[in-house]
Structure formats: structure tokens, C-alpha cells
Structure 1
Amino acid sequence: MQAAPLTDRGVVLVSGDDARHFLNGLVTANVATMSAATPRFAALLTPQGKIVVDFIVVEIPAEDGGGFLLDVPAALLDGLLTKLKFYKLRAKVTVEDRSAALAILGLWGDGVDATDAGAVDGLVIPDPRLPALGLRAVVPAGTAAAVAGTLGATLADAADYEAHRVALGVPRGGVDFAYGDAFPHETDMDQLAGVDFKKGCYVGQEVVSRMQHRGTARSRVVPVAVDGFPPPPGTPVTAGEIAVGTMGSGTQGRGLALLRLDRVGDALAAGTPLIAGGIALAPRKPAWATFAWPGETADAS
């Protein structure tokens, strides 16, 4: 098992009598039914249904004070605080930046389980997006090495975790898609347990529900295989003269790209290669995905 401090993450604490109801009315996941053992992957959206910021919601056990910790991209933390304070109105809610005191640790690989979590000074939870991602730990700042030792993990760095994420085909905001310009379906949140389609209203819910029921998501972040290192994020992907998408993150031999799947299907049918920065890409459907893939029948999973 490996453990890597994820220094690009920040932590927000949402607490108070109305914290659960407050969050549940704002974000894409069902916070009303979660518990300390069932974290959620969620996003705050614009009224037009585009992602402002995505995060992992972790409930603090009542015996430890209660409330919710949001594991959020550090670069977007101030903006999230502003939004949450704007929405809280008269709700009995306190919103605090806890990034100076708490840190996020990613744990993955052989031997990953939460059986030793009770020995850790912090919260260790399964990553709610995909079991293969492993665990997330919210721990006191500066204790990463100690936590890794307690859990019997080898201390790694964020680049190792990124390679693990890319290999699984899981998108990362700010690299594989642009915040403020992508719908949850385009970033595979609907596939990665990030949207509850049965819960009540939240900001942007009507647009997301319409995309779900009409099947109108034409673009998706998907894995691509490359020979060598992929081109940098933001590199246009083309099929002949036709733009089909944009490159995202990558490691040796593989990457992610936000692609128009209808155009990818046309290119594959015509035998036209996908090219980004002069490098040929071979797109593939993630093992965990249930959305239709070019060449599959409409009801394929």
C-alpha cells in the first residue's frame, strides 16, 4: 500500500444545527442519507448546471463534534467559502477554512482497507468515487509519515497518486476539465457516484436531470493510450480537420481527454486517427463506465 500527501487539497468545515440540510440543498450528492462511514463525492453547480467546484464530503462522527469536512481543491477553496457563506442566509451553519490544521492523504494499492483506521488520529474513509482509488484520510497537518507508518503504507508523493488516478481513468478538475465550463456528465460525475438523481432540488438540478433523462451528454472525459508521453493539458485533439476535444492529464503511455464521442465514433468508423500535438491517441471506454461508447448498441453497458 502507498500513501501520498495531496498538498493541492484544502479542507473546509461545515458545522452547526442546519449543516446537513444546508449542504443537501446545495450539492449534487445526497448528504441527507450519508453517515461517517459513507462519504460522498459531490459538486456545487451554477444555476446553469456547470461545475463551480467538486469535492469529497466526509461526515465527522457525533462523538468527535459532528459536522462535515469538504476535501476540496485548494485553489478553489476561497471561492467555495464565499459561495457557501452567500447561500447560508439565516441557516445555523458555520463555514471555516481548516486547511492549516488538516491535510489530505491518498492511500492505494495492495493491502488497502480501513481495518486499522481506528489507530489513526484522523478520519480514514473509502474514496466514494471508485473503490479502486483506495482510501482518503483527513489527518492533522504534518502527520502524513506517521499515518502511513500506522497503516503499514509506503510514503509516496502526489505524482505517484496522479499516475494511479490516470491509470483508472478518473478525471481531475482544472486539468481534465475547466471549472465553470463543464457539466457533471461531461466529467463522468454521473458514473462516479457524484450525482444523486433521486434526491430533491439543488442548485443546477434541472439542467443535470434533463441531460440524464434525454441522454444529451455528447462529451466525456475518457482514457486515451499514447506511444510515450502524452501532449500537455489543453492540447487540441483533432480527427483530420475536425476538432474532437482537448487533452487533459497524462503519464507515460496514457492520458485523459475530454472528447466529443459522436465525432470520435465518426472518426473511428472512417479510419481517421485522433491526433493531439502530432501524437496519435487511442481512446477507450473506462472499465467502470456504463455510458454508450462508439460502436456499441444504444443499450450497451
Structure 2
Amino acid sequence: MTDTLTVQPELIRAKPEPERSVKRRSKGRAYPIFRVLMLTLTVVLFVAPLVWMVMASLKTNVDIYDPGKTFAFTPTLDNYINVLSRNNYFTFIFNSFWVALWSTIFSLILGVPAAYAMSRFTMHRSAMVVLMARIIPGVSLLVPWYFIFANLKMVGGFGVLILSHMFVALPLIVYIMISYFDSMPLELEEQAQVDGLTPIGAFLRISLPLSAPGLATAGILSFIFSWNNFMFALVLSGANTKTLPVAIFNFVSYASIDWGSLMSAAVVVTVPIMVIALFTQKYIVSGLTAGATKG
């Protein structure tokens, strides 16, 4: 008995772990590392240009060209003083806000009823035309637009800028709201009509209030696209209606580029949009996901 007891522990060997379980463990450990690396790379790619823009706006042109002063430099506010005081950028800020505001309002007034009609009456061809208008490059329409508006003596005014920005905002609003109205149950409107409301009354009192998240999403995105629009304003604006993206282009000349003022002007353009995006991101996400998941 003693011999068998002393021999058995030596004969016992641990069973080798199956190869599949080892591969699963290695894959399970590799995925979090890969996810962290991809997230870090994405954040760096998006944040690094913004950080460089803010730092360059606080430097002189000499410091911007000096690699040794990439991070170690003496901050200065001369670029912001040059942009906001000497170049009268508050006027350009007002112009951009005015055009973006009214183009968004008019696009909502026209686009929301159109989206409701296309959704309730299954107007698929009309929806396809709206989508095609969203896909068509705006630059292809600049020449005919300029010819038409020049003959109408409208080039250089706010009206032509608002109309041109509506070309971008209106298809976007219609396309977002179609999916949102599709997600709303038709029984609510039918019940409202049974209670005595007309179809227009059911739209105004039932469907429109329930679509508030979609309206917020469409309106915010429309305002942002109008605020950032450069091409239409470059061709159709005048000296008194110039918007911020076009005014930034003034710092680029044939001989040189004023990088400090250019970056400070870019910060002035970017900050309002970033603030709007930060405070309204929950409305944008809820509006987009509601139209996508319920439809």
C-alpha cells in the first residue's frame, strides 16, 4: 500500500488546457486592448487639430513657424483683438446667425408639412426626389443660381443667402421628419379625428407636438450646416452680408497667410457650434434614434 501511495502522485499529471479555450482567452484579452487603441486613435485624430488650432490662435506668426515653440510659448491675445476689434467680426457673426436662423425657420415651415404628407400618403417618389436633391452637389447649381439671382438684382442680399442655404436645409429636414412621422402610430390621429378634429387639426395638435424631438434634431442640424456653409456665401454674398466662413478667407492672401488671425477666427467660428452641440446632443441623439428604431 505504501508503494502505491508514493507512486500515484508522481503518475498524476495535470491535463493540458484545450486549445480552443486558450484561443478564446487570448481573443477575449485582445478585444479590450484593440478597442482602447481604436478609441484613443479616433480621439487623437479629432482632438489634435482642435488643440493645434487653439494653441496657434494664441501665438504670433513667428512662434507658429518655430517647431521649438510647439508647446512652450508665451500666449498672446493680439490675434483675437485683431479679429474681433479691427476686422469687425461681430458683424460677420451677426450675418451668419441671421442667415442660419431664418433659413432654418423657413425650411422647417416648408419641410415639416411636406414630410408629413409624404409619410402619411406614402409618396415614395417625392421622397426619392428630396433625397436626390440632398445628394446633388451644390456647386453644380452655383452658376445657374448666380445668373438667375443676378438678373433679379438679388445677389449680395440676405434673401439670396437664405434661399441658397434652404437648398441644403430643406431636404435634410424633410428626410429626417419623414422617418420620424413614419414611426408615429396612425391610430392617434384617427382617434383625434373621431373626436372631432380635422386632419389638419390632428396634425397640429397631435402629430406636431409628439414630433418635438425630431423637430429639434432637424432644426439644430440645419442651423449647424447653414452656419458652416462657405460655398454659397462666397459667390452670392456682398460686402455687407458676408458670413463668418467667407470672412475667414480674407486672412489668406496671394503672398502670405496670417496664421494667427486665421486660427483665432476659426476658433470664433467653431466655439458657438461646439457649445450648441454640447448642450443639445441629447436632443439630436434622441431624435435620430427615435426615427430610426421606431420606423
Per the normalisation by structure 1, the TM-score is 0.21
Report which of the two structures shows the higher radius of gyration computed on alpha carbons.
Answer: 2
Per the normalisation by structure 2, the TM-score is 0.21
Structure number with higher strand proportion: 1
Q: Which has the higher contact order (CA 8 A, sep 6+)?
A: 2
Structure number with higher helix proportion: 2
